[in-house]
Amino acid sequence: MTNFSIAIHGGAGTITPASMTPELEHAYKTDLANALEAGHRILNEGGSALDAVEKSVLLLENSPLFNAGRGSVFTKDGKHEMDAAIMCGDTLAAGAVAGVRSIRNPVVLAKAILEHSDHVFMSGYGAEEFARKYKVAFEPEEYFYTAQRYKQWRDVRDTDLFILDHTVEKKFGTVGAVALDKAGNLAAATSTGGMTNKNYNRIGDTPIIGSGTYANNATCAISCTGHGEFFIRAVVAYDISCLIEYKGYTLQQACEKVVLDKLVKFGGEGGLVAVDAHGNVALPFNSEGMYRGSKVNNNEAYIGIYKE
């Protein structure tokens, strides 16, 4: 039987039932389920993993609940700077953007770079020029305003603190997706507004190929969320791929080694979603919760928030 799978996340952090209302929980689950189903539909109809992960991430970027695209957090100077990346496991082609402003869907810009440029990684003004050339949509500053994130920023803007999204103290809100399509190709995509009150021009792990995002048909596809500085230094996504490629670990073993052992010892809080070349899915996290979902073949979809 053909194996195809998709897994998504909407960020990890101190997410507990006590920090949630039933209405909010319902809203998160609905937006996660819609993003999961949209990506799954593409795979089920024979579409590519690359298109599926782009679609799921785009829908999560359009939801104000998640720290990416529309719901992006505020930087130290009260702006929104977004990072995103996408990678194709078949060709190892990748596209990534850092610190872009006013782009409605940074994942679409990352995919345009993958498809139309010989470069992999663009930032700032040059990335925005590229977006204009390829008719990637822009939005005015107000589009990215959410009252909750404005409050988060207002509370810390006169300090040197920079905080992660999703709960009062520690919040991670990045979004991401990984998929295996019916042709056996893997892909990964990740998108984020970064961390509240981050220094302007600070770049996290999300757009760094091998740290926050990676896909390789020989091993797996990975999309991370968590304290980016640690994920960069631990080269998390590529580390998992290497454990599979060079040490023969299973996806689950590799994820547990990196997320539940190495990162914990290192102090790197967060998690990731992963799928391997056989369609196995892993959703490990070392924080209290992670917004997540997965669907393998046409089996029932799984949506989770808390530790189980």
Question: Which residues are part of the catalytic machinery?
Answer: 174
**Cβ density class 55-79: b for 16+ within 10 Å, e for less:** bbbbbbbbbbbbbbbbbbbbbbeee
User: Between residue 159 and residue 218, which ones bind ligand ASP under the rule CB under 6 A?
Assistant: 164-165, 172-174, 192, 194-195, 204-206, 212
Question: In this structure, are residues 206 and 83 in contact, taking their beta carbons and an 8 Å threshold?
Answer: yes
Which amino acid, one-letter code, is at 79?
K
Distance CA 5, CA 241 (A): 18
Part of the chain binding ligand ASP (CB under 6 A), chosen from 134-142, 225-233, 256-264, 291-299: 225-233
**Of 252, 187, 184, nearest in space to 221 by CA:** 187
User: Between residue 6 and residue 65, which ones bind ligand ASP under the rule CB under 6 A?
Assistant: 11
Give me the 107-146 binding string for ligand ASP, x by CB under 6 A, dash otherwise.
Answer: ----------------------------------------
Question: In this structure, are residues 288 and 14 in contact, taking their beta carbons and an 8 Å threshold?
Answer: yes
**Of 54, 152, 136, nearest in space to 102 by CA:** 136
Smallest gap from residue 230 Cβ to ligand ASP (A): 9
Pick one of 67, 75, 196, 219: the residue that binds ligand ASP (CB under 6 A): 67
Nearer to ligand ASP, 48 or 72 (CB): 72
**Of 251, 259, 179, nearest in space to 227 by CA:** 259
Nearer to ligand ASP, 216 or 225 (CB): 225
Smallest gap from residue 71 Cβ to ligand ASP (A): 11
Nearer to ligand ASP, 44 or 199 (CB): 199
> Is residue 4 involved in binding ligand ASP (CB under 6 A)?
no
